Structure 1
Amino acid sequence: MWPIERGFSRRAVLARSAVATLVAAAPALSGPAKSAYTADQRRLRLDRVIDRAIAERRIVGSVVLVMQDGEVVYRRAAGHADREANRPMREDAMFRLASLSKPIVSAAAMALVERGRLDPQDPVTKWLPDFRPQTSDGRVPAITIHHLLTHTAGLSYGFLQPPDGSYQRAGVSDGLDRSGIDLDEEVRRIAAASLVYEPGTRWGYSLATDVLGAVIARAAGEPLPDALRRLVTAPLAMADTGFLVDDGARLAVPYLNGKPEPARMQDPQLVPFRGAGIIRMSPSRVFDRASFASGGAGLVSTASDYARFAEALRLGGGPVLKTSTVQQITTNQIVDLSPTGLPAWGFGYGAIVLKDSVLAKSPQAAGTWTFNCAYGQSFFVDPQQKLAVIAFTNTALEGGFGAFPVEIRDAVYGRGE
Structure 2
Amino acid sequence: MLASPWTLSRVLTVLLCLAVACPALAQEKRRKPPAIESVNEAVAKHINDNDVAGAVTLVIEDGKVVHLSGLGKANLKADKPMRPGAMFAIASMTKPITATALMTLVEEGKVGLDDPVSKYIPEFAEVKLDGKLLDKPITVRQCLTHTAGLGGSQRVVGSLESTAKEIAQRPLRYEPGTKWEYSPGLNVVGRVIEVASGKPYGEFLQERILDPLKMNATTFHPNEKQKSRIATLYAKDKDSGELTEADSWIGNFETDPYPNPSAGLYSTARDLSKFYNMMLNGGFLGDAKILSRDSVKELTKLQTGDIVTGFTPGNGWGLGYCVVQEPQGVTESLSKGSFGHGGAFGTQSWGDPEKKRAYILLVQRSNFPNSDASELRKDFQNAAAAALNK
Same-fold call, TM cutoff 0.5: yes
> Is 1:255 paired with 2:234?
yes
Partner Cα separation in structure 2 for residue 244 and residue 393 of structure 1: 19
- State how 1:54-133 maps to structure 2 within 5 Å: 54-131=47-124, 132-133=126-127
Q: Which residue of 1 aligns with 2:15?
A: none
Q: Which residue of 1 aligns with 2:198?
A: 221
How big is the shift at 1:65?
0.5
Partner Cα separation in structure 2 for residue 405 and residue 359 of structure 1: 11
- Which SS does the other structure have where 1:286 is aligned? coil
Partner Cα separation in structure 1 for residue 161 and residue 48 of structure 2: 45
Q: Which residue of 1 aligns with 2:317?
A: 347
The 3 A distance-change label for structure 1 pair 228 and 340 is: closer
1:257-297 deviation digits (Å, cap 9, x = unpaired) = 2232221103xxxxxxxxxxxxxx22672245x64321111
* TM value normalised by structure 1: 0.77
Any conservation in 2 of the 1:245–1:287 contact (CA below 8 Å)? no
> Is 1:386 paired with 2:366?
no
The 3 A distance-change label for structure 1 pair 147 and 283 is: closer
Q: Which residue of 1 aligns with 2:279?
A: 313
- State how 1:13-32 maps to structure 2 within 5 Å: none
Any conservation in 2 of the 1:375–1:400 contact (CA below 8 Å)? no
- Which SS does the other structure have where 2:41 is aligned? helix
Q: Which residue of 2 aligns with 1:8?
A: none
Any conservation in 2 of the 1:344–1:360 contact (CA below 8 Å)? no
- State how 1:240-251 maps to structure 2 within 5 Å: 240-247=217-224, 248-251=227-230
Partner letter of residue 282 of structure 2?
G
Any conservation in 2 of the 1:187–1:211 contact (CA below 8 Å)? yes
- State how 1:33-44 maps to structure 2 within 5 Å: 43-44=36-37
Q: Which residue of 2 aligns with 1:134?
A: 128
- Which SS does the other structure have where 1:395 is aligned? coil
- Structure 1, unaligned runs of 5 or more: 1-38, 159-172, 267-280
The one of 256, 266, 271 aligned to 1:300? 266
Tell me whether 251-260 or 104-113 shows the greater mean CA deviation: 251-260
Partner Cα separation in structure 1 for residue 76 and residue 147 of structure 2: 41
- Which SS does the other structure have where 1:370 is aligned? strand
How big is the shift at 1:360?
8.3
Q: Which residue of 1 aligns with 2:252?
A: 285
Q: Tell me: higher relative CO, structure 1 or 2? Use CA pairs within 8 A at least 6 residues apart.
A: 1
**Aligned Cα RMSD in Å?**
2.3
- Which SS does the other structure have where 1:316 is aligned? coil
Partner Cα separation in structure 2 for residue 405 and residue 260 of structure 1: 20
Partner Cα separation in structure 1 for residue 258 and residue 163 of structure 2: 8
Partner letter of residue 286 of structure 1?
F
Any conservation in 1 of the 2:144–2:189 contact (CA below 8 Å)? yes
Partner Cα separation in structure 2 for residue 283 and residue 145 of structure 1: 24
The 3 A distance-change label for structure 1 pair 380 and 292 is: same
- Structure 2, unaligned runs of 5 or more: 1-32
Q: Which residue of 2 aligns with 1:324?
A: 294
1:103-159 deviation digits (Å, cap 9, x = unpaired) = 000000001101111110111111111233211232244011111111111112x3x
Tell me whether 122-131 or 220-229 shows the greater mean CA deviation: 122-131
- Which SS does the other structure have where 1:152 is aligned? coil
Larger radius of gyration: 2
Any conservation in 2 of the 1:337–1:344 contact (CA below 8 Å)? no
Q: Which residue of 2 aligns with 1:144?
A: 139
Partner Cα separation in structure 2 for residue 220 and residue 374 of structure 1: 29
The 3 A distance-change label for structure 1 pair 123 and 238 is: same
How big is the shift at 1:343?
6.2
Partner Cα separation in structure 2 for residue 324 and residue 194 of structure 1: 35
Partner Cα separation in structure 2 for residue 123 and residue 284 of structure 1: 30
* TM value normalised by structure 2: 0.82
How big is the shift at 1:240?
1.4
Partner letter of residue 54 of structure 2?
G
The 3 A distance-change label for structure 1 pair 284 and 368 is: closer
How big is the shift at 1:361?
7.1
Partner letter of residue 147 of structure 2?
T
The 3 A distance-change label for structure 1 pair 70 and 243 is: same
Any conservation in 2 of the 1:108–1:232 contact (CA below 8 Å)? yes
